Amino acid sequence: MNQIIDITRPNLFETAPDTVNFKKLRKRLVRQAQDVIDSYGLVDRYAVKTGKAKRPKWLVCLSGGKDSYGLLAVLLDLQWQGALPVDLLACNLDQGQPGFPKHVLPEWLETTGVPYRIETQDTYSIVTEKVPENKTYCALCSRLRRGILYRIAREEGCDAIVLGHHRDDALETFMMNLLHGGRLAAMPPTLLNDEGDVFVYRPLITSAEADLQKFSDAMNFPIIPCNLCGSQDGLQRQAMKHLLDDWEKRKPGTRQVMAKALTTVRPSHLHDSRVFDFAGLVPGSSGEKDDGVPF
């Protein structure tokens, strides 16, 4: 027997702007997230709705920034439309950063009617003790946060951790890996953790940061600053953001073209023998197109 879930209209949209521009923006973000969910198999809607698969439960990570607010709003919108047969649990990790406004997220979440969990773990003290002076806290902080979120997901019976990373995050990560890491890698829409028991999903991975900023401003989300710990994300990421901004000014649409490139990979035109059998090329076999490759 199929489980009947009563999904009411999300409360957070009751005060949303009633303008054509906002409606178009909201529709675009929802459509993009739905495309990611369907294209990368984040949930099999048919199997869940017909009872062939259990209803998944997602742990939606809420930091208090524009991206995570937008993520939760979009998922609630999809859930209300019947396009996302998933149970959502919002989660905020209070890491003991000085000045962190503990009341903001619980009060906001109460108005949405979304089930939530606030986890308090003083990782700030650990990070400040371990990281040398004049170094950013972000790498160690991220590792500690990841481990805690995996634990919470297991405790709550969640199949996946859902993050608010967007298109621009993916491109900045790609550029950092290219210029500093010596590898071609970005942020995947979905991955399975090392233990093989919890997925990580990024439904907004094709959405533009500018759209999420406009959405956040229009929805008047109670934003919590991301630099309460006194540290900023690494200078490398900021440099990549500035570089992409400059390219975008010189040639509008550059970010979207680069995002398209992440979905159009030609292993035969790279140099990694682990993903393409160069040694196996023999006369008479199917050749490789060399269009766009200079002689």
Answering whether pTM is above 0.85, one says yes
Phi-psi region of 30 (alpha: psi -120 to 50; beta: other; left: phi over 0): alpha
**Taking every pair of C-alpha atoms in the chain, what is the biggest distance, in angstroms?**
69
pLDDT digits (tens, 9 = 90+) for 161-214: 999 999 999 999 999 999 999 999 999 999 999 999 999 999 999 999 999 999
Compute CA distances 71 → 3, 63, 121, 187, whole Å. Answer: 25, 11, 23, 16
pLDDT digits (tens, 9 = 90+) for 69-113: 999 999 999 999 999 999 999 999 887 777 888 899 999 999 888
Strand order in the sheet with 57-61: 116-120, 87-94, 57-61, 160-162, 199-201, 190-192
pLDDT digits (tens, 9 = 90+) for 110-132: 988 899 999 988 777 777 766 66
Contact 59, 152 (CB under 8 A): yes
Domains assigned to the chain: 16-269 (3.40.50.620)
**CA-to-CA distance for 295 and 291, rounded, in angstroms?**
10
List 161's β-bridge partners, or say none: 59, 200
Tell me, what's the pLDDT at 111?
Answer: 87
Q: Check pLDDT > 80 for residue 19.
A: yes
Question: What is the pLDDT averaged over residues 255-283?
Answer: 93
Tell me, what's the pLDDT at 4?
Answer: 43
Q: Check pLDDT > 80 for residue 228.
A: no
Of the two residues 5 and 248, the one the predictor is more confident about is: 248
- Determine phi and psi for 94, rounding to 5 degrees: -85, 110
Which DSSP category does 160 fall into? E
In a 13 Å sphere around the CA of 45, the CA atoms on its Cβ side amount to 13
Q: Nearest to residue 224, comparing CAs of 98, 77, 60?
A: 98
Q: Check pLDDT > 70 for residue 260.
A: yes
Amino acid residing at 279:
A
Tell me, what's the pLDDT at 135?
Answer: 65
Q: Check pLDDT > 60 for residue 17.
A: yes
pLDDT interval class at 294 (50, 70, 90): low
Of the two residues 150 and 144, the one the predictor is more confident about is: 150
